[in-house]
Amino acid sequence: MTDVVEVEDRGPVRHVVLNRPEQLNAMNDALADGLVEALENCAHDEDLRVVVVTGAGKAFCAGGDLNAMAAGRDAMSAPREVAKLRRHARAAELLRTMPAATIAAVHGACAGAGLGLALAADLRIASEAAVFRSAFLTAGLSGDFGTAWSLTRLLGEARARELMLLNEKVNAARALDIGLVSAVVAADKFADETDRLAQRLAGSAPLALRRMKQNLREASTASFADCVASESLRHIECAFSDDAAEAGAAFMARRTPQFHGR
């Protein structure tokens, strides 16, 4: 891990923090590489239930570091840059596909690759000071980190085209209105509300949560019949788990269940 990506475990919740606050957490190679490494570790940690990605300082992530791109332009090789971007964009893939539930905690600027990263999370919670923008066209770029794919599926084709092509800033209130985020909270309560949301998810049955993420992932690609077939297998697997038995016992006893992921 590098000092531009910080990791903190709080029980079964891991916080992954982009840590270039003076650059609004804009992604250079070090940050992107560190982020992929951190998320790869999360994806392989069976004890994790929730992963929260956020940014240090005043922003979530302002996108790619244009200064770094400009400084290295003369040495660029197209095939090498494609391979590097594919490697870095794996951060978004991991947020979408890892077994743990993922939350993007967004405050301040969330633009470009930062927007793509946030969109890939299962849930997005925003500070009232959050501002979202695709920002690619102003940099003469077409978009990365799966931004167009995610926007189209989250908001529909018309809204995705509007946000990508018009490149307008979207404040937190409008982001909530159009379904870009799950919740907007006051800036002074943002950290506490993010922790509350993470702990709420962490209290869910881990096996059921992982299988539910698989169902949701397949829902965007597989046929209805295929989804029903695979979700049936997962549902019955969960029904025979110790966690399901514990859920029933806790309900009958009117107590909080204690789940163990088996």
As given in the structure block, the two tokens for residue 220 are 């965007």
Amino acid at 103: I
- Return the pLDDT at 106: 98
CATH class of the domain at 5-202:
alpha beta
Average predicted confidence (pLDDT) for the chain: 93
Report the pLDDT value the prediction gives residue 77, as an integer from 0 to 100.
79
Q: In DSSP terms, which residues pair with 123 in a beta bridge?
A: 103
pLDDT surpassing 60 at residue 136: yes
Over pLDDT 90: what percentage of the chain? 75
Digit-coded pLDDT (tens) for 37-55: 999 999 999 999 999 999 9
* 245: number of Cβ within 10 Å: 12
Task: Give 85-122 pLDDT, tens digit per residue.
Answer: 999 999 999 999 999 999 999 999 999 999 999 999 99
User: What are the pLDDT digits (tens) for 187-216?
Assistant: 999 999 999 999 999 999 999 999 999 999
DSSP string, 57-123: TT-SB--B-HHHHHHTGGG--HHHHHHHHHHHHHHHHHHHHSSSEEEEEE-SEEETHHHHHHHHSSE
pTM comes to 0.93
Residue 180 has pLDDT above 70, yes or no: yes
